[in-house]
Structure 1
Amino acid sequence: MTVSGGTSRFVSKKLRKLRWKPKSDSLQTSTDIFSTGSWDDEVNQVCLWKTTNTGESQLITALDHRGDVTGMCWQTSDILVTASSAGQAQLFKYEHNQLVSSQVWSDLHGSGGASCVATHGETLATAGEDGKVNVINIRQRNPVKVFEKADSCSINDIVFSRSSDILTANMRGQMKLFDLRSNKQEASSIYLLSNDQVSINCLSKHPSQGHIVITGAENGLLAVWDLRQGRHPTTILSAHKSPVSEVKFHPDQPDHIFTCSQGGELWHWNGSSIRSAGVQVSSMNASLDTTSSPWLSSEAVKHKVETTSLVTKQPLPINSVDVLGHSVLFGGDNEAFYILNNIVM
């Protein structure tokens, strides 16, 4: 089965997370291996796939996973980490062209389990519906730091904004910044989407400028934040008509972002169109040079950003999207994954 400009494969499981295996070094231009994690099944799985020269995807490894796969990220090109609705985090190693389970941290979260996971260096962090955040060194059995009451509601997503800072997003429309060097349990900063307490479902950090974050919300809106300035978004973009499932910066070309929605949409946002329009890209109180991000230009974004729908609207939710090079990987509740090649940047 082929979709326009790409390929797809039916896998008989609803997919919650999909991630390209990162490049192993800067000379490598792309990768042909990716991981998928399922949810809402009697037995969920983490699978490793390889795309062949013909464009077909070949299953390399399928491992049973306790609970739904609620979070997934590659810590390095050889280490994959998942979060589970059963309250645990699991580490897998890529060895001899296979994926093998290496370590499990159990009972990290109470009711609802872990909802997300993030990594930085040898550190990983999980957050859950219980409002708790665990910080774990992958070489140690027990968490090195626990924010027992990081939040009073469900935490939906988590990223490392820096090696010493964790940023969480919650169902009340708040982002909270936690300083790992501090002895305090409270957040060092709190950011608010709006007064309506609309849930922030997902967040993505700019690959080279950690103070720039884009979030996707329950009401379909995207918000651009500059963590250095104020407690509210720099820009709010009218996006999907249904909840945003994931938002992703392109790892090498962060003028481009990709979003998918519970309404079955997949969009490519081309921020470089702002630059080409000759719009002055500036932050709220200082002119920035040409290396600055066009996403911080509130006026420009409103009028100059090009948005392209990459697939026809799907009847079921698209839960996850990832991008590497010119290839976009996505999948969801229709029990299939898709790879779109030659995406024009």
Structure 2
Amino acid sequence: MMNASMMISAMDTSLYMDTTTARTLSRSRAGPSAIAKPKFVRFTNSTQTGRNVSKVRWLLDNSYMGVPDPYASEYFVSGSWSSVGDVNDICLWGLDVGPSAKEGEKDSKVTLITKAVVKGNVTDMSVLSGDRFCLCTSDGALYVYKGNKNRDEKFVSVTQAAAGQLFSYRGRNSHATAIAVKDDVIVTGGEDGSIVECNSAGLNVIRRLERVDPLSITTACFVGRNEVMTGNGGGQLKLWDLRNNSNEPVQILNPNVLMNNLYGVSSICQHPSQTHAVIVGYQSGCMDLWDMRLGPECDPIANLAGEGGSLSEIYFHQINSDHFFSCAQSGQVCHWYPGERLSNPLQVPVEYTTDLNIEFLKKGLVFKEVHTSPFPINSMSLSRNDRIVVGSDSGVVFCTEIRV
């Protein structure tokens, strides 16, 4: 169907069940893909926020020592959206986990620490440092917030450090739709196809690329120190070098028409160690794995079928990078990982196997559902302590531990 690519199609999917209810996405008719594993002690917590949750992000833990702590206290922030009115909430939450009297469980408690009001819907959010995060809104504004701690190093409040009105069209505010962060640099994309580069200290505009995309920019991701990849509403990817004086992208990757990816890019996720590899999620529900080194005319290395519904966000696990997670408007949060003992593993072209050392390219890809909801899931975030927080249109934030 296309040269130098591997396709995992929903039409020829084989279904296998194991103790984790993992399903195998493969052309083969092999046996079960996983072996029963010991019972995992975990916690699950659902907390009502009272609003539709558009974005959730864990704040970074400065005391993190590199090994997940099953009883660490953590903090996360959430932003909301509303179909009526123009005022929404920015909430700071604390998660405390402790041992439980019930075997195989832990006690968990999510507490609302403080909230702030923001004008417009929260359209994207990113963490700058351990106590600072930024967000953009449907009013075309970019905000930076700072969390304030007490003597015990616990967050007690959050304050707005700066704000900037960046996008407008014909005298009216235009949506800011995407945000990406690298060190103290913030890049945000707009509904009008513009890109704005700012510093995080005072939100001073460093550079503005006016309407460089004929379509709305739907997502953005730093893939290098000075390189930003954006996706648009037509499924096209563009790579921008912020050092380049030109307003032209240095690389354009066109959508895979055969996989119906013309509906738009919804998420871009960079591999933690092989930084030239990115997984892209589309509103069609499909995912593509791209190798950016192959140039502008290349095809995806792999076309991966999702579980249905527009993909909201995708994240690689930062340590076990053969694992990644996705959430979708169909209400599912999925954990994707390499298959086990497949008798007829999927093969990829030889010229790629040595450069992209990703296990699921060799063994096939399986997934298990971490969480399901009858409402669209808009956002998720992974913490360094192997926890996941999920936000949806149900108004609930869901927290649980993951096993990788």
The TM-score, its normalising length taken from structure 2, stands at: 0.77
SS in 1 for 2:300: coil
Amino acid at match of 1:337: V
Determine which of 97, 101, 104 is the counterpart of 2:163.
104
Amino acid at match of 1:95: N
Deviation (angstroms), 1:332: 0.7
Q: Does 1:118 align with 2:180?
A: yes
Determine which of 79, 86, 93 is the counterpart of 1:37.
79
Amino acid at match of 1:248: Y
Cα distance in 2 for partners of 1:148, 1:276 equals 50
Determine which of 73, 84, 90 is the counterpart of 1:46.
90
Q: Does 1:337 align with 2:403?
A: no
Q: Does 1:288 align with 2:343?
A: no
Note if contact 2:166-2:196 (Cα within 8 Å) is conserved in structure 1. no
Q: Structure 1's 275 and 150: CA in aligned 2 closer, same or farther, altered over 3 A?
A: farther
Cα distance in 1 for partners of 2:335, 2:175 equals 32
Deviation (angstroms), 1:283: 6.8
Deviation (angstroms), 1:278: 11
Q: Does 1:242 align with 2:309?
A: yes
Q: How does 1:200-211 map to 2 (within 5 A)?
A: 200-211=265-276
Deviation string 1:72-103 (CA, Å, 9 cap, x unpaired) is: 11011121010111101100112222221101
Cα distance in 1 for partners of 2:60, 2:315 equals 14
Cα distance in 1 for partners of 2:54, 2:285 equals 18
% identity of equivalent residues: 26
SS in 1 for 2:382: strand
Q: Structure 1's 284 and 62: CA in aligned 2 closer, same or farther, altered over 3 A?
A: farther
Note if contact 1:316-1:333 (Cα within 8 Å) is conserved in structure 2. yes
Higher Rg of the two aligned structures = 2
Cα distance in 2 for partners of 1:101, 1:200 equals 30
Q: How does 1:178-197 map to 2 (within 5 A)?
A: 178-195=240-257, 197=262
Q: Structure 1's 44 and 178: CA in aligned 2 closer, same or farther, altered over 3 A?
A: same
Q: Does 1:70 align with 2:136?
A: no
Note if contact 2:390-2:398 (Cα within 8 Å) is conserved in structure 1. yes
Cα distance in 2 for partners of 1:10, 1:308 equals 25
- RMSD, matched Cα: 2.4
Determine which of 223, 244, 257 is the counterpart of 2:288.
223
* Larger deviation, residues 116-125 vs 103-112: 103-112
Determine which of 163, 167, 191 is the counterpart of 1:129.
191
Match of 1:146 in 2: 208
Deviation string 1:157-213 (CA, Å, 9 cap, x unpaired) is: 001110111100111110000111111001110001223523111111122332111
Cα distance in 1 for partners of 2:174, 2:324 equals 30
Q: Structure 1's 330 and 158: CA in aligned 2 closer, same or farther, altered over 3 A?
A: same
SS in 2 for 1:285: helix
* Larger deviation, residues 11-20 vs 208-217: 208-217
Cα distance in 1 for partners of 2:174, 2:336 equals 33
Determine which of 13, 23, 39 is the counterpart of 2:51.
13
* Larger deviation, residues 172-181 vs 227-236: 227-236
> Structure 2 unaligned runs (5+)?
1-41, 98-106, 150-154
Match of 1:214 in 2: 279
Cα distance in 2 for partners of 1:120, 1:276 equals 39
* Larger deviation, residues 150-159 vs 197-206: 197-206
The TM-score, its normalising length taken from structure 1, stands at: 0.89
Q: How does 1:75-94 map to 2 (within 5 A)?
A: 75-94=128-147
Q: Does 1:269 align with 2:336?
A: yes
Note if contact 2:92-2:114 (Cα within 8 Å) is conserved in structure 1. yes
Give the structure, 1 or 2, with the largest relative contact order (CA under 8 Å, sep 6 or more): 2
Note if contact 1:17-1:319 (Cα within 8 Å) is conserved in structure 2. yes
Amino acid at match of 2:136: A
Note if contact 2:43-2:108 (Cα within 8 Å) is conserved in structure 1. no
Match of 2:375 in 1: 316
Note if contact 1:149-1:185 (Cα within 8 Å) is conserved in structure 2. no
Note if contact 1:158-1:203 (Cα within 8 Å) is conserved in structure 2. yes
Deviation string 1:48-83 (CA, Å, 9 cap, x unpaired) is: 100123411111120001111111110111210101
Amino acid at match of 2:278: V
Amino acid at match of 2:176: A
Cα distance in 2 for partners of 1:75, 1:232 equals 33
Amino acid at match of 2:76: F
Cα distance in 2 for partners of 1:277, 1:249 equals 26
Q: Structure 1's 209 and 76: CA in aligned 2 closer, same or farther, altered over 3 A?
A: farther
Amino acid at match of 1:220: G
Match of 1:260 in 2: 327
Deviation string 1:216-235 (CA, Å, 9 cap, x unpaired) is: 11111011111112433111
Cα distance in 2 for partners of 1:26, 1:10 equals 28
SS in 1 for 2:371: coil
Paired residue total: 333
